[in-house]
Chains A and B, each alone.
Chain A
Amino acid sequence: MMRTETVARLYTWLYALLFLAAGYGLLLGRMEDYLVETAWLTPFFTTADFARDLLGRPCGLLFYVASALQSCLAWPWLGASLLLAVSAGTAFALRSVCRVRGPWEALCWLPSLASVAGYVQDGWLIYLFKTPAVAFSMPLGLLGAALLFRLWSSGRAHGAFRAAMRLAVALCGWWLTGVYALLACAMFVVGGILPSGQGRRTFGRVFSVAAPVCGLAVPGAFCALGWIRMPLSEAYALGLPDYVWQNGEWRCWLPWAVAVAVMLLLPALRFRPGGRLPFLLGPLVFAGGMAAAGSRVYDDANFRSVLAMKRAAWQGDWAAVAREAAACKGEPTRIQVALGRLALFRLGRAGDGWFRLPDGDAECVCPRPYPFLRVVAGPLLYWQFGRPNFSYRWCMEHMVEYGERPEYLALMLKCSLANGERRVARKYLEALRNTWFFSSWAERYVPYVDGLRHVDEDEEMRRVRELVRYDDLLDGDNGAIEAYILRSFAFTTGGTRDIMELSLLSRLVMKGLDGFWPRFAALLPLYGGRVPVHLQEAALMVRQLQGGPDLGGAGISSEVAGRFARLLQVAGRYGDAAQGGWLKEEFGGTYWYYYFFVNGLQTK
Chain B
Amino acid sequence: MSMRYGWIWGAACAALLSCGPSVPRDAVEAGRAARVEPDLGEATLPPNIAPANFEVLEEGTACVVQVRSRRGQELTVRGPVTDFPVEDWHRVLASARGDTLFTDVWVRDGGGRWARFDVRRNPVARDSVDSYITYRLIRPSYVEYEGMALVERRMEDFGERVLYSNLSLGRGPGQCVNCHMPRDYNRRGETQFHVRHEGGGTVISDRLGVRKVDLKTDSTLSAGVYQAWNPRYDVAAYSVNETGQIFHIRDREKVEVLDFASDLILYDMRRNKVFSIDCREDEFETFPAWSPDGRRLYYCSAHYERRSEDITAELYDGYRSLKYDIYCRDYDPVRMRFGPRRLVFAASAHGGSAAFPRVSPDGRWLLFSMGDYGQFHVWHRSADLWVMDLLTGQARPLAEANSAESDSYHSWSSNGRWILFTSRRADGNYTRLYLSYFGRDGRARPAFVLPQRHPRHDARLFWSYNTPEWMVAPVGRAAGYASAASPSVAAVRAEYAGSALDGE
A positions within 8 Å CB-CB of B: 47-49, 130, 226, 229-231, 233-234, 242, 387, 389-390, 392-393, 396-401, 404, 416, 419-421, 423-424, 426-427, 430-431, 433, 468, 470-476, 488
Chain A residues with CB below 8 A from B246, complex form: 474-476
- Dominant secondary structure of chain B at its interface with chain A: loop
Cross-chain contact A433 with B247 (CB below 8 angstroms): no
- Give the 4 A-B residue pairs with the shortest CB-CB distance, closest first: A472-B250, A400-B144, A229-B168, A424-B427
Cross-chain contact B168 with A230 (CB below 8 angstroms): yes
Cross-chain contact B170 with A474 (CB below 8 angstroms): no
Chain B residues with CB below 8 A from A393, complex form: 142, 247, 254-255
Instruction: Name the residue on A nearest B163 (C-beta).
Output: A229
Q: Which of A48, A400, A424, A468 is packed against the most chain B CB atoms within 10 Å?
A: A400
Cross-chain contact B254 with A229 (CB below 8 angstroms): no
Chain B residues with CB below 8 A from A419, complex form: 252
Chain B residues with CB below 8 A from A229, complex form: 162, 164-165, 167-168, 482
With contacts defined as CB atoms under 8 Å apart, how many contacts are there between chain A and chain B in the complex?
115
CA distance A387 to B139 in the complex (A): 21
Cross-chain contact B146 with A390 (CB below 8 angstroms): no
CA distance A399 to B146 in the complex (A): 10
With beta carbons under 8 angstroms apart, the residue of B142, B165, B167, B457 that contacts A396 is B142
Instruction: Name the residue on B nearest A48 (C-beta).
Output: B454
CA distance A474 to B456 in the complex (A): 34
With beta carbons under 8 angstroms apart, the residue of A230, A392, A399, A400 that contacts B254 is A392
- Known contacts A400-B139, A401-B146; A233 and B249 CB within 8 A of each other: no
Q: For the complex formed, measure the closest distance between the CB of B326 and the CB atoms of chain A, giving whole angstroms.
A: 26
Cross-chain contact A389 with B250 (CB below 8 angstroms): yes
Is B460 part of the contact surface with A, judged by Cβ < 8 Å? Answer: yes
Tell me how many residues of B have a C-beta within 8 Å of chain A: 46
CA distance A416 to B3 in the complex (A): 21
- Known contacts A234-B170, A390-B249; A421 and B143 CB within 8 A of each other: no
Q: Which of B249, B479, B482 is packed against the most chain A CB atoms within 10 Å?
A: B249
CA distance A47 to B3 in the complex (A): 12
Chain A residues with CB below 8 A from B252, complex form: 419-421
Cross-chain contact B460 with A49 (CB below 8 angstroms): yes
- Known contacts A49-B457, A393-B142; A231 and B249 CB within 8 A of each other: no
Could you pull out 10 A-B pairs where Cβ atoms are within 8 angstroms? A48-B454, A389-B250, A389-B251, A397-B142, A400-B146, A427-B429, A427-B459, A430-B459, A472-B251, A474-B256
- B 408-441 contacts with A by CB, 8 A: 426-430
- B 119-148 contacts with A by CB, 8 A: 139-147
Chain A residues with CB below 8 A from B142, complex form: 393, 396-397
Chain B residues with CB below 8 A from A421, complex form: 252, 427-429
CA distance A392 to B430 in the complex (A): 13
Chain B residues with CB below 8 A from A475, complex form: 246-247, 249
Q: For the complex formed, measure the closest distance between the CB of B249 and the CB atoms of chain A, giving whole angstroms.
A: 5
Chain A residues with CB below 8 A from B250, complex form: 389, 468, 470-473
Cross-chain contact A396 with B141 (CB below 8 angstroms): yes
Chain A residues with CB below 8 A from B459, complex form: 427, 430
CA distance A473 to B316 in the complex (A): 8
Cross-chain contact B141 with A400 (CB below 8 angstroms): yes
Chain B residues with CB below 8 A from A397, complex form: 141-144
Q: For the complex formed, measure the closest distance between the CB of B484 and the CB atoms of chain A, giving whole angstroms.
A: 13
Q: For the complex formed, measure the closest distance between the CB of B343 and the CB atoms of chain A, giving whole angstroms.
A: 29
B positions within 8 Å CB-CB of A: 3, 139-147, 162, 164-165, 167-171, 245-252, 254-256, 316, 319, 426-430, 454, 456-457, 459-462, 478-479, 482
Q: Which of B146, B427, B461 is packed against the most chain A CB atoms within 10 Å?
A: B427
Using A399-B139, A421-B428 as known contacts, list a sample of 6 further A-B pairs with CB atoms less than 8 Å apart, ordered by residue number in A: A229-B162, A396-B142, A398-B144, A424-B428, A424-B429, A468-B250
Instruction: Name the residue on B nearest A474 (C-beta).
Output: B246
Cross-chain contact B430 with A424 (CB below 8 angstroms): yes
Chain A residues with CB below 8 A from B140, complex form: 396
Instruction: Name the residue on A nearest B166 (C-beta).
Output: A229
Instruction: Name the residue on B nearest A47 (C-beta).
Output: B460
Cross-chain contact A423 with B249 (CB below 8 angstroms): no
Cross-chain contact B429 with A389 (CB below 8 angstroms): no
Cross-chain contact B254 with A474 (CB below 8 angstroms): no
Cross-chain contact A49 with B170 (CB below 8 angstroms): no
Chain A residues with CB below 8 A from B167, complex form: 229-230
CA distance A232 to B122 in the complex (A): 50
Chain A residues with CB below 8 A from B139, complex form: 396, 399-400
Q: For the complex formed, measure the closest distance between the CB of B316 and the CB atoms of chain A, giving whole angstroms.
A: 5
Instruction: Name the residue on B nearest A43 (C-beta).
Output: B462
Q: For the complex formed, measure the closest distance between the CB of B198 and the CB atoms of chain A, giving whole angstroms.
A: 12
Instruction: Name the residue on B nearest A423 (C-beta).
Output: B427
CA distance A389 to B142 in the complex (A): 12
- Known contacts A49-B454, A130-B171, A229-B482; A474 and B165 CB within 8 A of each other: no
CA distance A101 to B454 in the complex (A): 54
Cross-chain contact A473 with B428 (CB below 8 angstroms): no
Cross-chain contact B171 with A226 (CB below 8 angstroms): no
CA distance A566 to B482 in the complex (A): 72
Chain B residues with CB below 8 A from A471, complex form: 250
CA distance A475 to B249 in the complex (A): 7
CA distance A426 to B254 in the complex (A): 18
CA distance A234 to B172 in the complex (A): 11
CA distance A427 to B463 in the complex (A): 12
CA distance A430 to B319 in the complex (A): 36
Chain B residues with CB below 8 A from A420, complex form: 252
With beta carbons under 8 angstroms apart, the residue of A404, A426, A473 that contacts B249 is A473
Cross-chain contact B248 with A389 (CB below 8 angstroms): yes
Cross-chain contact B168 with A474 (CB below 8 angstroms): no
Q: For the complex formed, measure the closest distance between the CB of B139 and the CB atoms of chain A, giving whole angstroms.
A: 5
With beta carbons under 8 angstroms apart, the residue of A226, A387, A392 that contacts B479 is A226
CA distance A474 to B244 in the complex (A): 12
Cross-chain contact A474 with B462 (CB below 8 angstroms): no
With beta carbons under 8 angstroms apart, the residue of A389, A401, A430 that contacts B247 is A389
Chain B residues with CB below 8 A from A49, complex form: 454, 456-457, 460-461
Instruction: Name the residue on A nearest B480 (C-beta).
Output: A226
Chain A residues with CB below 8 A from B169, complex form: 231
Chain A residues with CB below 8 A from B145, complex form: 400
CA distance A430 to B162 in the complex (A): 27
Chain B residues with CB below 8 A from A400, complex form: 139, 141, 144-147
Cross-chain contact A433 with B3 (CB below 8 angstroms): yes
Q: For the complex formed, measure the closest distance between the CB of B14 and the CB atoms of chain A, giving whole angstroms.
A: 16
CA distance A404 to B146 in the complex (A): 13
With beta carbons under 8 angstroms apart, the residue of B162, B168, B249, B316 that contacts A470 is B249
Chain A residues with CB below 8 A from B456, complex form: 49
Cross-chain contact B144 with A401 (CB below 8 angstroms): yes
CA distance A472 to B320 in the complex (A): 12
Q: For the complex formed, measure the closest distance between the CB of B164 and the CB atoms of chain A, giving whole angstroms.
A: 8
Chain A residues with CB below 8 A from B245, complex form: 476
Chain A residues with CB below 8 A from B256, complex form: 474
CA distance A400 to B169 in the complex (A): 16
CA distance A419 to B254 in the complex (A): 11
Q: For the complex formed, measure the closest distance between the CB of A151 and the CB atoms of chain B, giving whole angstroms.
A: 34
Instruction: Name the residue on A nearest B462 (C-beta).
Output: A404
- Known contacts A230-B167, A400-B141, A400-B145; A390 and B427 CB within 8 A of each other: no
Cross-chain contact B162 with A474 (CB below 8 angstroms): no
CA distance A399 to B138 in the complex (A): 12
Q: For the complex formed, measure the closest distance between the CB of B437 and the CB atoms of chain A, giving whole angstroms.
A: 26
Q: For the complex formed, measure the closest distance between the CB of B379 and the CB atoms of chain A, giving whole angstroms.
A: 12
Instruction: Name the residue on B nearest A416 (C-beta).
Output: B429
With beta carbons under 8 angstroms apart, the residue of A387, A426, A431 that contacts B427 is A426
CA distance A427 to B459 in the complex (A): 6
Chain A residues with CB below 8 A from B143, complex form: 397
Q: For the complex formed, measure the closest distance between the CB of A450 and the CB atoms of chain B, giving whole angstroms.
A: 10
CA distance A433 to B460 in the complex (A): 12
CA distance A396 to B247 in the complex (A): 13
Q: For the complex formed, measure the closest distance between the CB of A495 and the CB atoms of chain B, giving whole angstroms.
A: 14
CA distance A416 to B428 in the complex (A): 10
Chain B residues with CB below 8 A from A416, complex form: 429
- Known contacts A399-B139, A401-B144; A233 and B170 CB within 8 A of each other: yes
